[in-house]
Every structure is written in C-alpha cells, then in structure tokens.
Amino acid sequence: MAGVDDLSPVAQDYLKVIWSAREWGAPAITTKGLAERMGTSKANVSDAMRRLQAQGLLEYQPYRPVTLTPEGERLALAMVRRHRLLETFLARVLGYGWEDVHEDAERLEHAVSDRMLERIDAILGHPLVDPHGDPIPSADGRWQGQSGTVRLDEAAPGRYEVVRVDDSDPARLADLRRVGLVPGARVDIDRGDPVRVVRDGRQLDVDAVTCGQIRVRRAG
C-alpha cells in the first residue's frame, strides 16, 4: 500500500486541499477553485488531476467538482494529520502564535518522517485537535467530526463554547487571539447584524465574515 512519501509534494498538497475544501461543509472543489488555492493555472491543475486520477487517487472530469477515491482520501488524511500535528508542536513546544504555525507546518509536512511524526504525537500526549480546534486524524486514518457544533452566525441566542476557528487568515487569527476568541472560550451570543458576541461581560467586535468562520457548541 502506497504512502504519502511515494507522492510528490505537489500531489500531497492537492490531495490535502481537495479533502480540506469540504471539511467545513462546502461543496467539492472545482479545477478553478484548486487553481486559486494553489496559485497556478487551470491547465496545470487539469494535468495534475489527470495524473492523480491515473494513480487511482481521485475522480476527475473537466468542469466538474473533484472527488477523492477511498485511497486518495486515506492519503489526504495522512497529510492532514502531519500538518495539524506539526502546527500543534510549533504552538505548544516552540511557542509559535496560532497565526504563525501554518506556513512552517506547510514546509515541514513534506519532509517529516512517520517515525518523527509519531514521536511528536507522543510528546504532545496524542492531541485530538490542533491550535485552531481542527480535529487531528488518527494514525490509522480515522477522522472524528465535531458533532453538535454550529457556525457562530447561525447559533441561537445563548451561552456557547468556541470549538473551532478557520485558520485561513493569519491577521484575523491574531485579532481573535487578542480578544480571547479561541477554542475553549465561553461566549454569550445574541442575534443581530452582525451577531452580538459577549465574552466576560465585554462585547467583541466580530464582523459577519468572521462569525461564519467560527464553530461553537452549547455550553453546559
């Protein structure tokens, strides 16, 4: 059975991006979407998709969304595991801010060995989520979704715990860290335009876009 190290770094990135695109409930990504995410042309993406399809890792038709095969999903999850464990290591052990971990984790994930990764996992105490609250797939390829969570902008009024924050914008992450809107934080939510978010008695300035990129769960 092939491992992620049998793939080129570019192929590793494509599989990870294709899988991650649907993680927040969005539709399967298209060639155009992949070109935008990867910073390349649609022609280059199409060539890469045909190669990965020939390897049995995805299903691809021009102008249609791209879907992973079971084997492609297994390898994509292995890359997601690498990335999120490395982000957690950088934050917990090396003291990175959560807005700074992504770029270096992207570099390291293509070079880290499975042996080193499992050692990192052990040192960290086998974490279930990364600094942004994203679930970390297990070593045997299982991914545990976060049941009972909703987007902050869809939450009914009440008290909630922040579970997960989209990590695509480092500047936004830095702002959220400054106001304490991080996984584990308790907040009171009221409807409005945008939603009214209060933490420790203080209303936070959270715009509508950001509210759509935070997942919360009812606090007990």
- Helix (H), strand (E), coil (C) string for 198-213: EECCEEECCCHHHHCC
Q: What is the pLDDT of residue 75?
A: 96
Give CA–CA dist 172/213, Å, rounded: 10
Token pair recorded at residue 146: 């976060």
As a residue count, the chain comes to: 220
CB 35 within 8 A of CB 45: yes
**β-bridge partners, 59:** 67
Q: What is the pLDDT of residue 165?
A: 95
Note whether 215 and 151 are within 8 A (CB).
yes
- Could you read off the pLDDT of 6-60 as tens digits, one per residue? 999 999 999 999 999 888 777 899 999 999 999 999 999 999 999 999 999 999 9
CB atoms closer than 10 angstroms to residue 57: 25
> Which strands make up the sheet holding 214-218, listed edge to edge?
149-151, 214-218, 158-165, 186-190, 196-199, 202-204
Give the pLDDT score at 191: 82
3-state secondary structure of 24: coil
Tokens of 103: 């770029």
Tell me how far apart the alpha carbons of residues 182 and 165 are, in angstroms, rounded to a whole number: 7
Dist. CA 67–CA 186, nearest whole Å: 37
Which residues of the chain, if any, have pLDDT below 50? none
Residue with tokens 């998709």: 49
- In this prediction the pTM is 0.90
